[in-house]
C-alpha cells in the first residue's frame, strides 16, 4: 500500500494496539474515508482479546490537523455526522 495516500494504519504488539493517522500531504488531516473507517477499525481492535491498550498517533511530527475538508463532499450535516461517529467510537473504546 502506498504510504503517501491518506490512510489509517494499525498494528498490535504486546497488547498495545497502535492506530496511526497517515496523511502527510495534509498534516495528517482526516479524510472522509478515514472518518468512515475509524469506527470499524476500532470495533475490530476492541474485539481482539490481545489488545489491552490503544495508542492513537499521527505519522511524522504532526498528530492530526483536523478534517481534510477537500474530501468532505457530503453536506455539512453529513460531514459532521461522520466525524461525530468516529469520535464517539474512539470515546467508547474499552
CATH number of the domain where residue 38 is located? 3.90.226.10
Alpha-carbon span 72 to 68, nearest angstrom: 7
Q: Provide the percentage of residues in the chain whose pLDDT is more than 70.
A: 95
In a domain, 1, yes or no: no
Distances (CA, A) of 53 to 5, 34, 93: 26, 21, 9
Residue 11 lies in domain: 7-91
What is the pLDDT, as a whole number, of residue 80?
A: 84
In a domain, 69, yes or no: yes
Alpha-carbon span 73 to 59, nearest angstrom: 25
Record the pTM: 0.89
pLDDT at 77 over 90: no
pLDDT at 72 over 90: no
Summarize pLDDT for 26-70 with one digit per residue, the tens.
999 999 899 999 999 999 999 999 999 999 999 999 999 998 888
Amino acid at each position: 500500500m502506498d504510504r503517501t495516500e491518506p490512510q489509517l494504519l494499525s498494528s498490535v504488539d504486546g497488547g498495545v494496539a497502535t492506530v496511526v493517522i497517515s496523511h502527510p500531504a495534509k498534516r495528517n488531516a482526516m479524510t472522509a474515508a478515514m472518518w468512515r473507517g475509524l469506527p470499524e477499525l476500532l470495533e475490530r481492535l476492541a474485539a481482539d482479546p490481545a489488545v489491552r491498550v490503544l495508542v492513537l498517533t499521527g505519522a511524522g511530527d504532526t498528530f492530526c490537523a483536523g478534517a481534510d475538508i477537500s474530501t468532505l463532499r457530503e453536506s455539512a450535516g453529513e460531514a459532521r455526522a461522520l466525524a461525530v461517529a468516529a469520535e464517539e467510537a474512539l470515546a467508547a473504546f474499552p
